[in-house]
Amino acid sequence: MPKPPLLTNAAPPRGFLFGVEIRDSRGVFSLEDSLLELERLCRTAGIDVVGKDMQRLHRVDSSTLIGSGKVRELQRWLEETGANLVVFDEELSPRHLRELEKALGEDIQLIDRTALILDIFSMHARTREGALQVELAQYEYRLPRLTRAWTHLARQAGGASGRGGTGGVGLRGPGETQLEIDRREISKKITRLTRELEQVRQQRSRYRNRRKRSGIPVVALVGYTNAGKSTLLNALTRSDVLVADQLFATLDPTTRRLHLPGGRTVLLTDTVGFIQKLPASLIAAFRATLEEITEADLLLHVVDASHPNAAEQMEAVHATLRSLETPDIPMVTVLNKSDLLGLPEFGWQPSALPDSLRISALSGDGLEALRVKLEDVLYRSLVPIRALIPYQEGRLLDILHTEGVVESIIHQNKGIRVFGRIPPGRLGEFRSYLLPID
């Protein structure tokens, strides 16, 4: 995997943040709040933030994104703060990147939010699947931006670059030759990674099919990054999944068994947290992982109720779920860290969410009510059944006890008459013994 560019310096980079808001295309967050989040991302990546600025535009400058006047102002800020890195909150096109590098000089490194998130992902990918997904997203992001790495070679070519030079001779200089080689190699790597990830996707699909045949319901944890999903997974299942107070601490999907009050067992799956402006390349690369969400029986949306942008974070999660084209999956919303809502510094009040549950994954408050709620919602999805099960088919009775709900049992000479509910995927195994339901 290519090394994250932010981690190649001996000392932490001194970063200057720049936010841009385009008229009529505002995001979920305000410009100020988006910059605050960008600062948290920088801290996660080990960047020392020394300053920040912002600009509201009527339209994007086709050359430098922010216009020549603002570029000169940015140059002054860099000199005053001693920053050697500029982090843009908007994704920079290859042209924006190239022109800004020319204007700011070779000593200033330029990245955008997408590159920053990719760096953080590469730091936190701990499994082969996670590493493959991050590597693919990195290469797809960098491929159209390769020109910037070889401009010094193009200048050494004496004007006879791939554009034909000033005289139009059309000779290929060493810069373009190396660029073509680099593009070809990266294209090959993208093809290989895509093929390997397709194999991962097929393996996950086979695993999900086996899981469906088992009839065990799947509850997928979704939520904004750092909302407390891993803490909740640990609290509910008594696990020891990594928990850290930083963005994107968990990338790789984790599944644990959860026992509900009525005796039923479900699988609780945690996946990567969402964030506003989540790069499309990451969503595409993490397709195999995110399909765990689209195939779930129930979504458990974890909201950091103590965050001042909790409502905006919820909208960002819903927008990402829409982009994944998730089917009509039932959802339970929990307001995590609710023990902090009464403190003066937390002013957000979730009065518009009457059906949500207030919990604290850290203290355990509200978790028993959550287990009951999950069981109630999953119970409504069960299929009513009335059957006469032969004594030699005792395994079906085990399925009814472990995966469904038993309402009554009557032992008769020909077998066991049962009333209850079972997962729809298990109905076929009972079909030969079904009785009419009055």
- Over the stretch 269-317, which tens digit does the pLDDT of each residue have? 988 889 998 877 788 778 777 888 888 889 999 999 888 888 899 999 9
Asked if residues 304 and 227 have their Cβ atoms less than 8 Å apart, the reply is yes
d(CA 28, CA 39): 17
- Full-model pTM: 0.78
197, 214, 231: which is the final residue of a domain? 214
d(CA 243, CA 312): 23
Is 172 domain-assigned? Answer: yes
Q: Residue 158's CB: how many other CB atoms inside 10 A?
A: 11
71, 90, 124: which is the final residue of a domain? 124
* Residue 349 confidence (pLDDT): 60
Distance (Å) of CA 133 to CA 184, 242, 260, 288: 20, 20, 34, 9
- CATH at residue 368: 3.40.50.300
Mean pLDDT (whole number) for 332-341:
87
Question: pLDDT confidence of 166, banded at 50, 70, 90?
Answer: very low
Distance (Å) of CA 308 to CA 41, 44, 168: 17, 20, 58
pLDDT at 3 over 60: no
* Residue 46 confidence (pLDDT): 92
For residue 238 the two structure tokens come to 């008594």
For residue 227, give the 3-state DSSP assignment: coil
* Residue 356 confidence (pLDDT): 87
| Domain co-membership, 204 together with 169 | yes
Question: pLDDT confidence of 176, banded at 50, 70, 90?
Answer: low
Task: Return the higher-pLDDT residue of 150 and 368.
Answer: 368
- CATH at residue 406: 3.30.70
Number of domains in the chain: 4
| Domain co-membership, 251 together with 311 | yes
61, 93, 124: which is the final residue of a domain? 124
| Domain co-membership, 266 together with 324 | yes
| Domain co-membership, 230 together with 365 | yes
| Domain co-membership, 351 together with 226 | yes
Question: pLDDT confidence of 249, banded at 50, 70, 90?
Answer: low
Is 45 domain-assigned? Answer: yes
Is 200 domain-assigned? Answer: yes
Task: Return the higher-pLDDT residue of 247 and 242.
Answer: 247
Is 29 domain-assigned? Answer: yes
| Domain co-membership, 104 together with 195 | no
- Over the stretch 70-124, which tens digit does the pLDDT of each residue have? 999 999 999 999 999 999 999 899 999 999 999 999 899 999 999 999 998 888 8
Is 438 domain-assigned? Answer: no
| Domain co-membership, 361 together with 245 | yes
| Domain co-membership, 225 together with 309 | yes
* Residue 150 confidence (pLDDT): 40
Work out the angle at residue 401's Cα, subtended by the Cα atoms of residues 235 and 356, and round it to the nearest 5 degrees.
Answer: 40
| Domain co-membership, 61 together with 38 | yes
What is the share, in percent, of the chain residues with pLDDT greater than 70?
84
Mean pLDDT (the chain, rounded): 83
| Domain co-membership, 324 together with 277 | yes
Is 178 domain-assigned? Answer: yes
- CATH at residue 88: 3.40.50.11060
| Domain co-membership, 197 together with 324 | no
- Over the stretch 179-200, which tens digit does the pLDDT of each residue have? 788 888 999 999 999 999 888 8
Provide the residue range defining the domain that includes 224: 216-379
Is 48 domain-assigned? Answer: yes
| Domain co-membership, 41 together with 105 | yes
For residue 425 the two structure tokens come to 């995927």
* Residue 71 confidence (pLDDT): 94
For residue 438 the two structure tokens come to 């009055």
* Residue 160 confidence (pLDDT): 36
